[in-house]
Copies of this chain bind each other. A is one copy, B any other.
C-alpha cells in the first residue's frame, strides 16, 4: 500500500488545507469506511457504475456500514453516454429525493465516467458536497480520479461542462482491475505511457522494459505502473491546480486530438485511452514535422504503444480532416480560435505550443499509416 499526497493551498474557506491522499494498493477499498468516518459524517451516497454495483460498490458500502455510515447506492449505466446533462439531472433529483444535505459525502465507485459525473454532481448539489473517489479502472486510477476535474459532455464536445472540485481522498485498489475487460485495461495503459512522455523518461524506459508483463496484467508490474503514474499526476496537480500556470496543460498531451476523435466517432465507440494513444502518435508526428523532435522519438513511442497493444492510427471512419479540425477549434483548451497543442521536445518533456500551422495539423490527421505491426 502506498500513500501519495496531493498538495493544495487553502481557498479562503475555513478548511485552509485541501490536500488529500491517493491510496494505492491491493484491497484498499477496505480503507474507504475509516477515511470517510474520520471526515466526520454519518451519511454517504455511493454513486457507482451499474456493472460493479454488486461487487466493488457493495464492498465500499460494507466498509462504510461497518463504521455506522448509512450509504445507499445509486447506479449509473456503463459508458460515456452517462456523462450527460440528463444523467446529472437524474442524480440531482435522486439526491433531492433522498434529502441529501451538506454533511452527506458522495463516494464515486467506477471508471472515469462515474468519477467525472459524480464529481460534477457533488460539486453542484447544494453548492458542493465532499466527494471521495474509488476508481476501478486503470485509466481512472492513474488519471481521472486524481486532480479534481469533473465533467459532462455536450453534443458539441467532450467535457465542455464541468468544475474543479477536489476529492477528500482517492482509493486506487489494484484488485478491482481484475474485473476489467481486456480492451479497457489496455486502453488505460495509454495514460501510463503519457506520464513517461511528459515528465519521466526513466519511467518511459521502465515501461519499455516491462511492456510484456504490463500487457499481461502482472500484478506487480501493474501496481508499480499505477503508483508511479498516480505520483506524477499528483505532483503536476499540486503545482497547477487550476490549469493556470501551464504546467497542468502537459497532462493534455495527445488529448486535443483524442477529444476530436472521440467526438467524431461518437462517445463510447473509441475508448478514451485508445483515442489518447492515437492522439499521442499524432502529436509526436506533429512535433517531428515542426522540427521539435527527431523521428526516433516518434518511433520509440509508437513501438511502446504497439507493444502494449495500443493503436497509433485512427480508424478509417474518423479521418475526416475538416470535421476533426472543426472540433479542435471548439476545444476548451483552444484560445481565441487558434490551434494549441502539447508537443514533446524529447522523451520526458513537453511544451504548450501556440499557433501551430494548420497545414501541418492537416498533414498528421490525413496520414493513413499501415496498422500496427504484429
Contacts and interface: CB of A to CB of B under 8 A. Distances in A.
B14 A8 contact: no
A335 B102 contact: yes
Contacts of A334: 101
Nearest to A14: B244
A337 B304 CA distance: 55
B244 A336 contact: no
B85 A92 contact: yes
B330 A99 contact: yes
A340 B155 CA distance: 42
A161 B101 contact: no
Interface stretch (A122-130, A193-201, A361-369): A122-130
A288 interface: no
Please provide the 4 A-B residue pairs with the shortest distance between their CB atoms, ordered closest to farther: A96-B156, A9-B12, A126-B332, A14-B244
B13 A241 contact: yes
A163 B332 contact: no
A156 B97 contact: yes
A242 interface: yes
Nearest to A16: B9
A98 to B, nearest CB: 9
Interface in A146-181: 149-151, 154-157, 160-164
Chain copies in the assembled complex: 2
Interface in A108-128: 120, 123-128
B335 A101 contact: yes
From A149, A156, A244, residue with most partner B Cβ within 10 Å: A156
Interface residues on A, range: 35 or more
Interface in A315-350: 329-330, 332, 334-337
11 contacts: A9-B12, A11-B12, A14-B242, A99-B337, A101-B337, A102-B332, A102-B335, A103-B335, A126-B160, A128-B163, A163-B163
Given A99-B329, A103-B335, A335-B102, A160 B11 contact: no
A15 B120 CA distance: 24
A336 B327 CA distance: 45
A202 to B, nearest CB: 30
B13 A332 contact: no
A128 B164 contact: yes
A124 B161 contact: yes
Contact of A12 (B8, B15, B128, B329): B8
B14 A245 contact: yes
Contacts of A157: 96
A149 B127 CA distance: 8
A269 interface: no
Contact of A151 (B42, B127, B329): B127
A233 interface: no
A97 to B, nearest CB: 6
Contacts of A164: 127-128
